[in-house]
């Protein structure tokens, strides 16, 4: 059942990245958090996200705007390194508060609380029109790279912030998507290099089947998404997923998950 849920979510989330505001990490991370500790969920999502983005570059890479990608991506790498380091630091944190319900003990930790807040914030940014339409001028690309990279390294959520800065760069729809994928790859490579410095938190060998299943499903979703790229945004799906992510985030932040 666990593998089926993860496979289905990875496929649908990867498909949605082509024509909705949501990114793969935004949807997959909270689902993996149900089955794994939060730092492992973020690391596993990062691996799936990176390999899936490599696959998507093969599909749409010819549309990359290298000028924008390199300017934004260089700063995103710096931010991602700092964010990933902070995640590793927080992952060893002790419980902030514990409580008991029907003989079961639930703990609220710093990393769970921070990630749950970020999940809610980014879910809202990627689904509420007034927030998703916030834009910054092109001269803010360096600041945008650092900010989006930092949150990418810390929680895996980077798409919403990245889009706010890239949308003003005069890119075509295809160029916007391809350049965003390039930057996401740079962030993923950076944060995964930091995560892998603490291999014990990722536990790849024990989670290899889950990882392969999620990667294969994400590839399938990416391929389908590339064929449906002209479709309109799925507003109903966005709203439904937003509500689900917020509920999961509340469960994570209160220690229930």
Tokens of 72: 């934004």
pTM, two decimals, is 0.72
Tens of pLDDT, residue by residue over 50-78, are 888 888 888 888 888 898 888 888 999 99
Task: From residue 221, give the alpha-carbon distance in Å to each of 14, 18, 88, 202, 245.
Answer: 5, 9, 30, 24, 20
Tens of pLDDT, residue by residue over 177-212, are 888 889 989 998 998 888 877 655 566 677 778 888
Asked whether 26 and 245 are in contact (CB, 8 A), the reply is yes
pLDDT given at position 77: 94
> Which residue intervals of 97-172 are DSSP H helices?
110-125, 129-132, 141-155, 159-166
Domain enclosing residue 63, as ranges? 2-253
Average model confidence (pLDDT) across the chain: 76
Tokens of 143: 């600041």
Tokens of 195: 């995560």
- Per-residue pLDDT band for 82 (boundaries 50, 70, 90) equals very high
pLDDT given at position 76: 93
Q: Closest by alpha carbon to 13, among 25, 1, 3?
A: 25
**Total domain count, the chain:** 1
Q: Closest by alpha carbon to 184, among 41, 28, 17, 31?
A: 17
pLDDT given at position 232: 47
């Amino acid at each position: 059942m666990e593998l089926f849920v993860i496979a289905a979510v990875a496929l649908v989330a990867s498909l949605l990245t082509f024509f909705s505001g949501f990114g793969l990490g935004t949807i997959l991370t909270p689902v993996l958090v149900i089955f794994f500790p939060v730092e492992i969920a973020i690391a596993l999502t990062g691996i799936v996200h990176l390999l899936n983005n490599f696959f998507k570059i093969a599909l749409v890479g010819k549309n990359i705007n290298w000028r924008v990608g390199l300017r934004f991506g260089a700063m995103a790498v710096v931010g991602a390194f700092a964010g990933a380091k902070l995640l590793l630091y927080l992952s060893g944190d002790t419980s902030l508060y514990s409580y008991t319900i029907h003989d079961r003990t639930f703990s609220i930790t710093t990393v769970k609380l921070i990630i749950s807040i970020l999940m809610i914030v980014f879910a809202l940014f990627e689904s509420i029109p007034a927030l998703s339409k916030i834009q910054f001028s092109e001269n803010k690309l360096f600041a945008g790279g650092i900010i989006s990279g930092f949150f990418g390294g810390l929680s895996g959520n980077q798409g919403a912030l990245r889009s706010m800065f890239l949308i003003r760069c005069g890119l075509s729809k295809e160029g916007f998507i391809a350049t965003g994928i390039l930057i996401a790859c740079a962030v993923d490579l950076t944060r995964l290099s930091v995560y892998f410095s603490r291999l014990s938190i990722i536990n790849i060998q024990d989670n290899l089947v889950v990882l392969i299943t999620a990667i294969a499903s994400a590839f399938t979703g990416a391929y389908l998404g590339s064929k449906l790229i002209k479709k309109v945004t799925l507003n109903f799906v966005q709203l439904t997923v937003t509500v689900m992510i917020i509920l999961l985030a509340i469960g994570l932040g209160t220690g229930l998950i």
